[in-house]
Amino acid sequence: MAEKHVYIEPVTRIEGHAKVSIYLDEKNKVKQARMHVVEFRGFERFVQGRPYWEVPVLVQRLCGICPVSHHLAAAKAMDRIVGAKKLTATAEKVRRLMHYGQTFQSHAMHFFHLASPDLLFGFDADPAIRNVFGVVQKHPDLAVQAVKMRAYGQEVIKATAGKRIHGTGAIPGGVNKNLSLAERDVLLKDVEQMVAWARSALGIARDYTTAHLKELAPFGSFDSNHGGIVRKDGTLDLYDGRFRVKDAKGSMVIDQLDPMKYLDHIAEEVRSWSYMKFPFVKSLGPGKGWYRVGPLARINVCDRIDTPEAEAARVEFMKLTDGKPNNITMAYHWARMIELVHAAEKIRDLLHDSDLQGADLVVKGERQFEAVAVIEAPRGTLWHHYRVNENDQVTMANLIVSTTQNNEPMNQAVMKVVQDHISGKAEITEGMLNHVEVAIRAYDPCFSCATHALGQMPLVVELIDVHGNVIEKRGRA
């Protein structure tokens, strides 16, 4: 009769804000666990009537965490609007460099600041040490590397976009600057160090995962589809390609999806209890069609990686599951570090490419009125869809961000963890609630852009009993 309700709110050490509610019955058995996000679709309205060339800059206000991904996704859509079918080599490579810089800094920051406290101290460790300051004390070398890697990624962004945040580098049909030799030389100086640090971070994530595989394998894990973009030949490509979805066993569900046709294959389900939508593959239906995105999904769906160290790491990673998709939630961290190495290798390759100093920056063609673009943001596949009228004004915008695609997966992970670690326990400890957050953090969600709010939101976890009383609440300011 007595039913309890647990909320976890805000989930700490993730970007943004959401609320997890855990409903318990009188025996502390879990009846239901859900992650809610308050949605505010401010951006879609905000962008109405604005000129299309403004959108790649405007859209960065959506998210302070990966503004470059939005900048580039919008720029790619606007390439189509201005009829630029193929960018110049310089433009494409400058944009790629910007994108790898973003991925590098985002992944480095997530691993050290958000994930490593749990991995280095354990999920049940005293929260007083289980935080980034604890990491700084116990592993000062790691902390310094984290800060420098983040700063390096930001320097790459600044050199290509003009500013660390809210740059203007990508414009419809190309870029507004190349990479000068002076800018290149500054970045070249430290690039080997960045590759080396990325390699050692990968080592930590891999060793941690393999050493704790027994506990980690079932932790918040479940079978699911996986989605990400790949090139024509199946090679991983974070900047450009076509969407692919594989099921939990590795069978192809969608391959080489033309972004312009995404609406034929992907739909968003609305559920009464959540403001954040639930995207799914239409042919499988909402019950079975949801999919994971992000590092784990990308490594699962691609056939190869085109940089040697990351490829070797991918092969090793896939061995763990005999080449089949890896469905372990906590394997996200390892996959993310493979991409960290990949991004570092890509940055290094690009810095040695003289195309970056080219002078041909912009192309144009026949004007179009509708465009969809897709890119792999650090957190997963990101879709931008716009309509633009003859007066050059945006009349419609629809964005599907990675965290929205990971909505159902995160809910699955939460339910799994709650059932395994909280359900039926006489007493609910901080450590148990942290388990819920650990599972969510694996997805590196960003609720500020998932909700299309202009700004940031924190996340809360609450435990509420049958009478609706909050019996436990945790969060951060």
Q: Which is nearer to other proteins, 132 or 362 (CB)?
A: 362
Q: Which is nearer to other proteins, 126 or 392 (CB)?
A: 392
When binding is defined by CB under 8 A, the residue of 138, 139, 177, 199 that contacts other proteins is: 177
Give the shortest CB-55-to-other proteins separation in angstroms: 9
| Cβ–Cβ < 8 Å for 114, 442 | no
Tokens representing 93? Answer: 């490579």
Q: What is the separation, in whole angstroms, between the first and last Cα of the chain?
A: 34
State which H helix or E strand residue 78 sits in: helix 67-81
Give the shortest CB-56-to-other proteins separation in angstroms: 8
When binding is defined by CB under 8 A, the residue of 128, 272, 359, 391 that contacts other proteins is: 391
Select from 270, 228, 273, 220 the least CA-distant residue to 252.
228
Contact between 166 and other proteins per CB under 8 A: yes
Contact between 387 and other proteins per CB under 8 A: no
Give the shortest CB-162-to-other proteins separation in angstroms: 3
Q: Which is nearer to other proteins, 127 or 162 (CB)?
A: 162
When binding is defined by CB under 8 A, the residue of 21, 28, 60, 116 that contacts other proteins is: 60
Distance CA 234, CA 66 (A): 25
When binding is defined by CB under 8 A, the residue of 58, 114, 119, 356 that contacts other proteins is: 58
Contact between 169 and other proteins per CB under 8 A: yes
Distance CA 103, CA 16 (A): 18
225-230 and 291-292 strand pairing: parallel
What mask, x for binding other proteins by CB under 8 A, covers residues 320 to 359?
----------------------------------------
The angle, 0 to 180 degrees and rounded to 10, between the axes of the packed helices 407-421 and 430-442 is 150
Q: Which is nearer to other proteins, 24 or 179 (CB)?
A: 179
Q: Which is nearer to other proteins, 17 or 70 (CB)?
A: 70
Q: Which is nearer to other proteins, 176 or 193 (CB)?
A: 176
Cβ burial of 431 (10 Å; 0-12, 13-18, 19+) is middle
What is residue 427's DSSP assignment? Answer: S
Select from 430, 440, 342 the least CA-distant residue to 127.
430
Distance CA 412, CA 313 (A): 28
What is residue 114's DSSP assignment? Answer: I
When binding is defined by CB under 8 A, the residue of 29, 61, 199, 271 that contacts other proteins is: 61
In the region spanning residues 214 to 273, those forming contacts with other proteins, defined by CB under 8 A, are none
The residue count for binding other proteins (CB under 8 A) is: 23
Give the shortest CB-390-to-other proteins separation in angstroms: 9
Q: Is 36 helix (H, G, I), strand (E, B) or coil?
A: strand
Dihedral sign, Cα of residue 283, residue 287, residue 292, residue 293: positive
Using CB under 8 A, list all residues that contact other proteins. 49, 51, 53-54, 57-58, 60-61, 161-163, 166-169, 171-172, 176-177, 362, 391-393
